[in-house]
């Protein structure tokens, strides 16, 4: 899911074509239904440097394997990106454009571009390591903001048959619709009548110095043995 966030930060870049915006403020609620160290369902809202507001609804705990969509709201148009199929541009004037995306597997085209850069045919690959700093920074702020990772009880979880390596997969019934409502309206689960919603918190770009202590605290609830290995 990180590459979708990376894309949105790219669209918010203000310096030149290859620029990514950094995050200034994040509010977050983290949840999990699986026995893992981190969250598997995230609700994030905040501001990019420069005042652009964002909302991110992310989950691995759903019964829909193709829910990815990136949406951008401009003064004159809305842009909806379905990463596997098309880009739709809805102009405020009523005109609607549909641009089909190439069917080539993105990894192949990215590798070709990198090889072209390696051979000196172009100035740079699609993404340099330093270009990933903003998405890493947003991730850090989200963990700082969440306060804790709320573990949903079995009352709010259903199961699907798993792949060959597992017997079943946990998912949250209705989570896709809840993520959609969050992106549209901006209300966290804890701010609605959601029975499992629990409040998170808020962090700004100056709070990252406290991140190691926050990670240690989060792991003390999800993986105490690993938390003991962290020195802060």
Burial of 163 (0-12, 13-18, 19+ CB in 10 A): exposed
The rounded mean pLDDT for the chain is 89
Checking if the pLDDT of 31 tops 70, the result is: yes
> pLDDT digit string (tens) for 153-189?
999 998 877 665 567 788 899 999 999 999 999 999 9
> What is the predicted pLDDT for the residue at 66?
64
Of 46-55, 169-178, 223-232, minimum mean pLDDT range:
223-232
Return the pLDDT at 54: 95
The per-residue pLDDT for 204 is 94
User: CA 63 to CA 72: how far, in whole Å?
Assistant: 25
Which whole number is the average pLDDT over 41-53? 93
Q: What is the mean pLDDT of the segment spanning 95-109?
A: 86
Residue 149 is predicted with a pLDDT of 95
Pick the CATH number of 2-161+170-227 from 1.10.760, 3.30.360, 3.30.450, 3.40.50: 3.30.360
């Amino acid at each position: 899911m990180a590459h979708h966030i990376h894309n949105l930060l790219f669209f918010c870049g203000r310096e030149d074509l290859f620029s990514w915006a950094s995050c200034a403020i994040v509010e977050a609620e983290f949840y999990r239904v699986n026995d893992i160290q981190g969250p598997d369902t995230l609700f994030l809202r905040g501001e990019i440097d420069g005042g652009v507001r964002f909302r991110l609804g992310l989950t691995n705990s759903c019964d829909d394997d193709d829910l990815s969509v990136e949406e951008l709201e401009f003064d004159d148009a809305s842009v909806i990106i379905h990463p596997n199929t098309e880009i739709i541009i809805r102009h405020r004037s009523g005109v609607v454009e549909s641009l089909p995306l190439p069917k080539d597997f993105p990894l192949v085209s990215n590798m070709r571009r990198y090889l072209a850069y390696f051979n000196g045919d172009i100035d740079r690959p699609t993404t340099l390591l330093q270009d990933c700093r903003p998405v890493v920074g947003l991730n850090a702020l989200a963990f700082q903001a969440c306060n804790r990772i709320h573990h949903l009880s079995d009352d709010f979880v259903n199961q699907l048959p798993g792949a060959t390596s597992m017997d079943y997969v946990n998912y949250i019934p209705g989570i896709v619709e809840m993520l959609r409502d969050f992106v549209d309206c901006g209300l966290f689960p804890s701010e609605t009548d959601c029975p499992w919603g629990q409040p998170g918190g808020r962090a700004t770009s100056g709070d990252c110095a406290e991140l190691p202590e926050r990670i240690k605290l989060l792991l003390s609830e999800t993986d105490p043995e690993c938390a003991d290995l962290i020195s802060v």
